[in-house]
Amino acid sequence: MNLVAVCFVAALCACALAALAALLVPARRRPAVTGVITAVAGALAAVAGVAAIGDGGWQVWLPDLLPLAGVRLALDSLAGVFVAVTGAVTVCAALYGAGYTAGGRDRGQGGDDAGGHGGHALDGRITQAMVPLFVGSLLLVPAADSVSTLLLAWELMAITSLLLVMAEHRQREAVREAAVWYAVMTHLGFVAILCGLLAFVAAAGGDSFEQLRVAAVDPGTRSAVFLATFAGFAAKAGIVPLHVWLPRAHPEAPSHVSALMSAAMVNMGVYGILRVGFDLLGGGPAWWWLVVLTAGVLSALYGILQAVVATDLKRLLGYSTTENIGLVLIGTGAAGFFAAGGSGALAGLALAAALLHMVNHSAFKTVLFLAAGSVLRATGSRDLDALGGLRERMPYTAGLFAVGALCASALPPGNAFVSEWLLLQSLIQSGSGAGLAGAVLMPAAVAGIALSAGLAVATFVKAFGVGFLARPRSADAERAVESPRSMVGGMGLAAGCCVALALAPALILPALAPAVVALTGDFGVSVQDVTLRVDAGLSTVSPTLIAVSLLVAVVAVLGLARAAMARRARRAARLWDCGLGPMSPRMEYTATSFAEPLQRVFDDVLAPESDVDVTPARESAYLVERVSFQTRVPDRIERRLYDPLVAAAAAAGGVARRLANGSVHRYLAYGFCALTGALVVLAVIW
């Protein structure tokens, strides 16, 4: 038993222990006890993951645990990356959850009607026990080493997360709708993965990954397997057009669960694509990866466009997840494309950028979702148009959200800047050797990344500026108070990870090298002191130096400004208010008004719906008594693609209801006729 095995098994045991504790410990201490044990499990998993990236090679076969195939677990370097990320996210989310879920019984949890009565608050037994089980399944998915184990862990992950999404279904109607969407989408995705992998197993004649790797499968089957599993994994990763569950389920889940889902669970979709595409199928033709790349570009653009016009804070973050996983898939697709074309250094660079971006996204999305949860807990609202003025009232939360928002905007000195820069380098360096498809798609992808980065800045300026600065726009926001220490601690830990990733990628990036080399054979980035050098070109970047020089510049500018101010005498004056009297919070910029110019620019894509209702005064059609104006930006893909499908399914269901009239005999007769019919057919054709 090496370090990997000990820590990983201990982490799984800690998850089980936490679930048990949630069932047994009385309600008053339940959140704290469960949270702490889950955090320990996360820390152990992080250690196991980091150790597995380094040496890896841990394998175990438990033939008796499941009938027929048994359970196969293995941690290699690729699995190690995902286990480590999941572990780190778990530590932050579990510590935060200990405070977030406590005391739900005397406080309406983010709802209009005071929830928590009847033992269905967030500190209820089932909800508390599901979190460690969810974490356990998230650890098992990358550790699975056979198809049956993977599918089992995948389904466990789907079910536990679904139960967590539904945690507050008694408080809010929207939770139920979100849960239905999530359940349907996640299970359709599961079916796609199931079909793909079972076809693969049937063609390869073995269930374990070892057998799948060496199996000789014909190209047609390989492509079918790849496309089916890609669809399934993309649904989990929230990739357009399979993303519709994500902006519903992530906002409605309890916030620490949102963080786990957004920062750890969607990664599993990326993991699946990497594992099946690179590892089990061993690369494949270039067009597979162009499909991945295209899906990535579309997701990045669509996700961030929806995020920039969203006014619900957590929905905004959910769409931002779609954007970031889209960026990760751009890197993945580019890596596969380059690997298929034989340029190993570029493939390594693209994959390293993709994995680094995934790690970065997990870090900042944890901070952002947890901070959004603090806001929700303090104000009872996720609507940015009703927030504001939280900087003075919740200084820690505001500061930590600012860190997360900076990191998410892909600007230096944030961490996403580093990974997106590497990603852009890999695409730009591809040059003319990429063939016609590459020559057309790579520049388009570069443009897509650039546009999404720009829109991300607007998105997070809006989220932070409107949500936390200025004056409160509602009474709830005015009454907000800072969150308890455990929540701030959880957020702070995640923000610390962000800062470390932002300032010292030169230390962290090499840690990903074994995983990247295992898949593409080359790493493509070399590190000199604090500088990252791209092997394929002459580009270098040093995030640490950029951060230091930025700091120096800011200090210098502030110092000069202060010096210039000190010379003049200060004078207090009333703010210019156009003579309308004192300015009220109603006159502030809102999230809607901030995004309005962008919404206008992307009018054709977003297709916003607005509704103006004018009531004229009785005497004259020209004198207006009252005007009401409503605007909303629906998810266009949902409107065009899913609504007709749902309507068709509902119509088919309505027709099928006639078959079921409630008579027991009729149901039995269906069974009897089906059986005898099948037997007659058998008897005739045999």
Pick between residue 627 and residue 678 the one whose CB is nearest to other proteins: 678
Between residues 67 and 662, which has the closer beta carbon with respect to other proteins? 662
Instruction: Build a one-symbol-per-residue string for 601-640: x at contacts with other proteins by CB under 8 A, - elsewhere.
Output: ----------------------------------------
Tell me the CB-side half-sphere exposure of residue 236, using CA atoms within 13 A.
32
CA distance 95 to 30: 13
C-alpha span between 7 and 44 (Å, rounded): 5
Q: At 201, which helix (H) or strand (E)? A: helix 173-204
Provide, rounded to whole angstroms, the least separation between the CB of residue 656 and other proteins: 13
Does 557 participate in binding other proteins (rule CB under 8 A)?
Answer: no
CB-based contacts of 143: which residues, under 8 Å, 6+ apart? 8, 73, 74, 75, 79, 83, 153
In the complex, the smallest distance separating the C-beta of residue 671 from other proteins, rounded to whole angstroms, is 8
On whether the CB atoms of residues 477 and 381 are closer than 8 A, the answer is yes
Are 78 and 141 in contact by the 8 Å Cβ rule? The answer is no
Q: Are the C-beta atoms of 519 and 56 separated by less than 8 Å?
A: no
Helices (H), ranges, 469-588: 475-478, 485-503, 505-520, 543-567
Of 567 and 657, CB closest to other proteins: 657
Of the pair 584, 676, the CB lying nearest other proteins is at 676
- Distance between CA atoms of residues 44 and 286, nearest Å: 39
| Residues 410-429 contacting other proteins, CB under 8 A | none
Q: What is the CA radius of gyration of the chain?
A: 27
Q: In 3-state terms, what secondary structure has residue 615? A: strand
The smaller minimum CB distance to other proteins, of residues 287 and 672, is found at 672
Find the shortest distance in angstroms from Cβ 180 to other proteins: 18
| 481 vs 675 by CB, closer to other proteins | 675
Whether 590 and 472 have beta carbons less than 8 Å apart is answered as no
Within positions 293 to 332, which residues make up the interface with other proteins, using CB under 8 A?
A: none
Residue list 636-675, contact with other proteins (CB under 8 A): 660-665, 668-669, 671-672, 675
Q: Is 682 in the site for other proteins (CB under 8 A)?
A: yes
Return the closest-CA partner of residue 522 out of 357, 358, 338: 338
Closest CA relative to residue 509, chosen from 353, 327, 348: 353
Residue closest to 287 by CA, chosen among 240, 230, 214: 230
Nearer of residues 507 and 675 to other proteins, judged by Cβ: 675
Can you tell me which residue has the tokens 């940015």? Answer: 384
Closest to 335 (Cα-Cα) out of 276, 278, 269: 278
Q: How far is the CB of 59 from other proteins (least distance, A)?
A: 36
Closest separation in Å from C-beta 300 to other proteins: 45
CB of 650 to other proteins, least distance (A): 15
Q: Which of residues 216-245 bind other proteins (CB under 8 A)?
A: none
Peptide bond into 616 cis (omega under 30): no
411 DSSP 8-state letter: -
Residue 580 vs 683, nearer CB to other proteins: 683
CA torsion angle 522 528 531 534 (round to 10): -30
What's the closest the beta carbon of residue 667 comes to other proteins, in angstroms?
9
Q: Is 13 in the site for other proteins (CB under 8 A)?
A: no
Rank residues 507 and 669 by Cβ distance to other proteins and give the closer one. Answer: 669
Q: What's the closest the beta carbon of residue 67 comes to other proteins, in angstroms?
A: 17
**683 touching other proteins, by CB under 8 A:** yes
The least CB distance from residue 670 to other proteins, in Å, is 9
* Minimum CB distance to other proteins smaller for 629 or for 686: 686
- Contact letters (x/-) for other proteins, 113-132, by CB under 8 A? --------------------
Least Cβ distance, residue 681 to other proteins (angstroms):
10
Structure tokens at 107: 């406080």
**Residue 573 or 684 having the CB closest to other proteins:** 684
Total residues at interface with other proteins (CB under 8 A) = 17
Nearest distance, CB of residue 169 and other proteins, angstroms: 21
Q: Residue 110 — left, alpha, or beta (φ > 0 → left; ψ -120 to 50 → alpha)?
A: left
Contact code string over 136-175 relative to other proteins, x by CB under 8 A: ----------------------------------------
C-beta closer to other proteins: residue 447 or 680: 680
Q: Respond yes or no on whether the N-terminal peptide bond of residue 241 is cis (omega within 30° of 0).
A: yes
Tell me 641's DSSP state. Answer: I
Residue nearer to other proteins on the CB measure, 432 or 663? 663
Q: At closest approach, how far in Å is the CB of 68 from other proteins?
A: 19
576 binds other proteins (CB under 8 A): no
Q: Which span (2-10, 558-566, 643-651, 676-684) binds other proteins, by CB under 8 A?
A: 676-684
Residues contacting residue 108 through CB under 8 Å, at least 6 positions apart: 114, 115, 116, 171, 380
**Per-residue tokens: 576:** 């210019």
Q: Closest distance between other proteins and the C-beta of residue 585, in Å?
A: 50
Residues that bind other proteins (CB under 8 A): 660-665, 668-669, 671-672, 675-676, 679-680, 682-683, 686
